Structure 1
Amino acid sequence: MVFCAPDHDRPTTGSSGCACCRPLLRSASRRIEAGLSRRGFVAGAGASLAALGFVGRAEAQRETPSPPIVFVNFRLFDGRSADPRTGLRLLVRGDRIAALEAGDTGAPDGARVIDCDGRTIMPGLIDAHWHTIFAGLAVSSLLTADIGYIVLAAAAEAERTLLRGFTTVRDLGGPAFALKQAIDDGLARGPRIFPCGAMITTTGGHGDLRPLSDLPRPFGGPPGPLERTGAANIADSADEVRLRVREQLLQGASQIKLVGGGGVSSPRTSLDMLTFSEAELRAGVEAASDRNTYVAVHAYPPAAIRRALAAGALCVEHGHLMDEATAKLMADTGVWLSTQPFLDEADTGRLAGQSRLNALQVFAGTETLYPLAKEHKLRTAFGSDLLFSSELASRQGVMLTHLRRWYDPVDILRMATSTNGELLALSGPRNPYPGKLGVVERDALADLIVVDGDPLADITLLERPGASLALIMKGGRIYKDEIGG
């Protein structure tokens, strides 16, 4: 309840006050947000006053609703079927697919009709392991630049991500909350973001990039710079894990990432090591489950994967050192595998020292991981996990086509659309975008790409999005249009 000035002392229900006081409230909110931003809280937490209900969501920035759009004369890959369909009419109204019907049934008044001239319509691509903040900037910039510059650079990369045809990403670590909100409010262009916030690790675990001069840190001591900006959180007990998980959920995390072992990009770790105990992992799983969402555990070797399964995690990230017995256990429990087809240094950039040794293990493991996943019919999601280079980030589509080594084009396209959409749905009520993703069907969210050619016949078209993607739509809004009409 808000009480106005004494001369208009009638209380009003809600948060916006009476009409005469709304401008004052908005002005005060802007001043408060500006102050928070200077302290780094908005970038790190992403919990703006708008999200708390004090002001409308970017009221001055709202775009007027788009008129209905009708697509005709196209070949359809709907995200599931191996057989493309033709002779259909697809109607988009607002942010949803309103109709998908055979024949020409006309168009609503005021609708725009787009003749695709035989091109392929398919769901927008989904990257199940992306780092919105870290994808396009070098580590040196991320460790030294002002957080404002980092978020602006990430916004530019987010738009490029969208223009590569990836209309949704599952963010697996980093302070992406504020950028997600800006994209959702129309202040920036980019994909839908399913954020996890800071990845939660242990002292000395993957993601602990503190300078050694910061040691020793008192047990339960104050957070360091990486923690304050939301890049990673360090927890060394079950209670600390619960706290850090709840903090990410408070900020709007749709899922949680716990680090179960070493990682390629953390040069003081090796892939054989373990971090959290089973009890600590279980504490995180329980805290996420209490909010009706799930935990994904970063894990490479069998021991780390098995510990994650024992703790109740629903998704394993990476898994490149998996053995057959562990693959069978994953199949028996129905746990998801979210992994990446890293083949060589072209996918990671030049690395040195322990990071290079770690990467070489991953490259070798890729060659055995996917055959195991196929043999045991693991629920396998596609992600790219490209880091610290805009040049590498531009290879998102190339990473997808690496899967030709093991899968047919239709299976690759399913993985990057409807299968990844099923993984996103594990967020349950924490899903920030209720509605079906990764499919073209009635009532699904209108995230579509129009491909100049047939990706079911030539999957490499997705390596060249600038030339091959004639139209990109997210939520019923067109962000690239080379068709006209």
Structure 2
Amino acid sequence: MTGTWLVGGTVADGSGADPTAVDVCVEDGMITAIGRAPSGAAVVDLGGMVLTPGLIDAHVHLGLSSPVGAQFGFQLSAAELAADIFAAAGHDLDAGFTTVRDTGGIDGGVVGVIAKGKVRGPRVLSCGPVQCQTGGHGYYGAAWEPTGLWEAHHIPGLCALSLMSGNADELRRNVRESFRRGASFLKLCVTGGVVGGHDRLDDTQFTHEEIAVAVQEAQARGTYVTVHAHNNAGIRNAVRAGVRCVEHGTDIDEPTARLMREHDVALVPTFAVVEQLMDAESMGLDPATRDRVAGVRQRMATALETSRAAGLRIGLGSDLIGPNQQRRGQELRLRAELESPMRALVSATSVNADILGLGGTVGMVRVGMRADMVAWRQDPLHDPNVFADPDMAALVFKGGHIMKGQTR
């Protein structure tokens, strides 16, 4: 058999099964065999390292990789914004993330240059700009600034934070515009948020009919809608309108979790950003953001437990913003504290792949899957702090190519 065999490691395949000492063959970017390397085969010696699928972050904001206050104030050049975006993409690979779902901020040009290999980065799925209602979450223009000027700050091909809609017809036009720019799914803000401009955390945003328009447009293109949502009223409204995924889900209660299960709606909790925002002032954000985030972590942890009991598919997303996105694996460490390192790994691999529509392609170390894998210097299932330390990711493979590290 041709191909290169990764030998001498322990494989945690992303399914939740116990790790096993097996060898993995990679050929033409795919995993072609698992077992024992034949005599005389080309090998890469892992030297006892733990091999996992490449990690997947289902909630990133590459387009918000600059100092947030300065970016929201439009004080940065396109060159600086681009430099920060591409640096963040490289950091993702170095931390072991081979696929990310960008949930608002980049334009299709970023996805394209990474896919072409002109810039180091993970595989990127993007919704393009977030869809928000006029003056809702996702809009950060000054109160005195005419609403129409907000979109003038977009940088075509690079970044566009949000598109605003005042009614269903405007939303239909905006989601079609997002697809024109290369979006592969849609994201709507249906409640207020923690980093709010003109909204409150307990606001509900967009009507059932408006959300249903976005769902209709997504389904017409064979894709789905996910929603930024913290409170139960907004979540239930979106689920009944046909969305497929909920981001954050801070206050999910048992009735809401049951409704999500009935409609097969997935959940992507986001704990790392909550910790990050406790130091809002250092990020150039309004100190009131700290007040908004107070209590969110515990409520999100309770919602996670409730959602797990209801049998929801639960993915994993970091939601980090600003220039300090190097330790994206912090989300796995935080989830491991609440559940277990294995559950965190499964959420960040096979479950996230399923949520992103990539199940059967990435997210597991299995024959026939893309060779997206990470070799860890120490066992992250024994010590989840390993996930949070990019230096612990010794080798990162994306499509069979070594994106970080050297073989021996």
Same fold (TM over 0.5): yes
Equivalent in 245, 269, 280 of residue 199 of structure 2: 269
Equivalent in 225, 228, 237 of residue 153 of structure 2: 225
Distance 1:150 1:120, change over 3 A: same
Partner of 1:98 in structure 2? 32
Partner of 1:302 in structure 2? 232
**In the aligned structure 2, how far is the partner of 1:199 from the partner of 1:137?**
19
Partner of 1:365 in structure 2? 299
Task: Tell me the amino acid that sits aligned with residue 461 of structure 1.
Answer: V
Equivalent in 202, 205, 219 of residue 289 of structure 1: 219
Q: Does 1:89 align with 2:23?
A: yes
Distance 1:216 1:401, change over 3 A: closer
**In the aligned structure 1, how far is the partner of 2:274 from the partner of 2:211?**
31
Q: Does 1:148 align with 2:79?
A: yes
Equivalent in 131, 141, 144 of residue 200 of structure 1: 131
**In the aligned structure 2, how far is the partner of 1:388 from the partner of 1:336?**
26
How many Å apart are 1:357 and its aligned residue?
A: 2.6
Q: Deviations over 1:16-48 (max 9, x none)?
A: xxxxxxxxxxxxxxxxxxxxxxxxxxxxxxxxx
Distance 1:95 1:78, change over 3 A: same
1:241-280 map, 5 Å: 241-280=171-210
How many Å apart are 1:153 and its aligned residue?
A: 1.5
8 Å Cα contact 1:337/1:378 also seen in 2: yes
**In the aligned structure 2, how far is the partner of 1:243 from the partner of 1:343?**
31
Q: Deviations over 1:235-264 (max 9, x none)?
A: 111111111111111222111001101111
When normalised by structure 1's length, the TM-score is 0.78
Task: Tell me the amino acid that sits aligned with residue 168 of structure 1.
Answer: T
DSSP-derived class of the 1:118 partner: coil
Q: Does 1:480 align with 2:404?
A: yes
Q: Deviations over 1:169-200 (max 9, x none)?
A: 10000124212211111110011101110001
DSSP-derived class of the 1:321 partner: coil
Partner of 2:320 in structure 1? 386
Q: Does 1:79 align with 2:14?
A: yes
Equivalent in 323, 339, 342 of residue 410 of structure 1: 342
Partner of 2:50 in structure 1? 120
DSSP-derived class of the 1:186 partner: coil
User: Which protein shows a greater Rg?
Assistant: 1
How many Å apart are 1:166 and its aligned residue?
A: 0.8
Partner of 1:469 in structure 2? 393
Q: Does 1:349 align with 2:279?
A: yes
Q: Does 1:311 align with 2:241?
A: yes
Q: Does 1:70 align with 2:12?
A: no
Equivalent in 150, 159, 165 of residue 235 of structure 1: 165
Distance 1:272 1:395, change over 3 A: same
Q: Deviations over 1:93-141 (max 9, x none)?
A: 12211222x2232456xx4x21111211110110000011113443304
Percent identical among aligned pairs is 32
How many Å apart are 1:419 and its aligned residue?
A: 0.6
361-370 vs 321-330, which moves further: 361-370
Distance 1:222 1:216, change over 3 A: closer
8 Å Cα contact 1:136/1:157 also seen in 2: no
Partner of 1:325 in structure 2? 255
Task: Tell me the amino acid that sits aligned with residue 253 of structure 1.
Answer: A
- Structure 2, unaligned stretches of length 5 or more? none
When normalised by structure 2's length, the TM-score is 0.92
**In the aligned structure 2, how far is the partner of 1:195 from the partner of 1:344?**
22
DSSP-derived class of the 2:91 partner: helix
1:369-448 map, 5 Å: 369-390=303-324, 393-425=325-357, 436-448=361-373
8 Å Cα contact 1:348/1:387 also seen in 2: no
- Structure 1, unaligned stretches of length 5 or more? 1-66, 426-430
Distance 1:107 1:440, change over 3 A: farther
Q: Does 1:157 align with 2:91?
A: no
How many Å apart are 1:343 and its aligned residue?
A: 8.3
88-97 vs 132-141, which moves further: 132-141
How many Å apart are 1:81 and its aligned residue?
A: 3.5
Task: Tell me the amino acid that sits aligned with residue 462 of structure 1.
Answer: F
**In the aligned structure 2, how far is the partner of 1:310 from the partner of 1:195?**
24
Partner of 1:139 in structure 2? 69
Partner of 1:61 in structure 2? none
208-217 vs 159-168, which moves further: 208-217
8 Å Cα contact 1:127/1:416 also seen in 2: yes
Distance 1:231 1:294, change over 3 A: same
How many Å apart are 1:361 and its aligned residue?
A: 4.1
8 Å Cα contact 1:126/1:169 also seen in 2: yes
Q: Deviations over 1:301-332 (max 9, x none)?
A: 11000100111001111110222221121122
Q: Deviations over 1:51-74 (max 9, x none)?
A: xxxxxxxxxxxxxxxx94321111
DSSP-derived class of the 1:404 partner: helix
Q: Does 1:460 align with 2:362?
A: no
**In the aligned structure 1, how far is the partner of 2:147 from the partner of 2:197?**
19
Partner of 1:184 in structure 2? 115
Distance 1:481 1:107, change over 3 A: farther
DSSP-derived class of the 2:101 partner: strand
8 Å Cα contact 1:132/1:176 also seen in 2: no
DSSP-derived class of the 2:51 partner: strand
DSSP-derived class of the 1:212 partner: coil
Distance 1:389 1:107, change over 3 A: same
Task: Tell me the amino acid that sits aligned with residue 369 of structure 1.
Answer: A
Distance 1:223 1:141, change over 3 A: closer
Distance 1:403 1:81, change over 3 A: closer
**In the aligned structure 1, how far is the partner of 2:266 from the partner of 2:187?**
14
**In the aligned structure 1, how far is the partner of 2:28 from the partner of 2:143?**
52
